[in-house]
Amino acid sequence: MPREIERKFLLKNDLWRSEVSRSRPMSQGYLASGGRASVRVRIAGSEAWLNIKIGGLVASRQEYEYEVPLDEARELMAAAEGPLIEKTRHFVERGGVTFEIDEFHGDNAGLIVAEVELEREDAPFPRPPWLATEVTELRRYYNICLVTHPYRAWTEAERNP
């Protein structure tokens, strides 16, 4: 069974930008979301995927991802619930690990979150000096939650975990 083990972090500063190896804009929309499962479509350039996550908003959950034709992905995106998530994903390689840094746009502009996918939950990984507070356990930082409660609507307390 495919499993995603992912930890999320805020960033202390912009020093990570000098380490970016590549970036790509992405759009994603949620077709279905429930307590423990979500189905989304994601478009990045000329590539598109259908993604299913099962297990709730936790560090380790089942994940299934399938490439879909771009024209079909656009049709699915039009059927998405709520607004789309728009972001640029930046890739930073550090100590054999890839940090995916999502810089959000639109209603979520100003939010930047670093994610690292691991082989197991207790796997060690480098802690670059620009990495700050871990927010893996805070629901509001998950993309699916940003659809219904975007960053622009957060209180000052929500912005400072």
DSSP-assigned letters across all residues of 20-45: EEEEEEEEEEEEEE-SSEEEEEEEET
Calpha distance 77→139 (Å, rounded)? 23
Calpha distance 103→64 (Å, rounded)? 24
Helix (H, G, I), strand (E, B), or coil: what is residue 147?
Answer: helix
Q: Which of 30, 141, 142, 151 is labelled catalytic?
A: 30
Residue 141 annotated among the catalytic residues of the structure:
no
Active site residues: 30
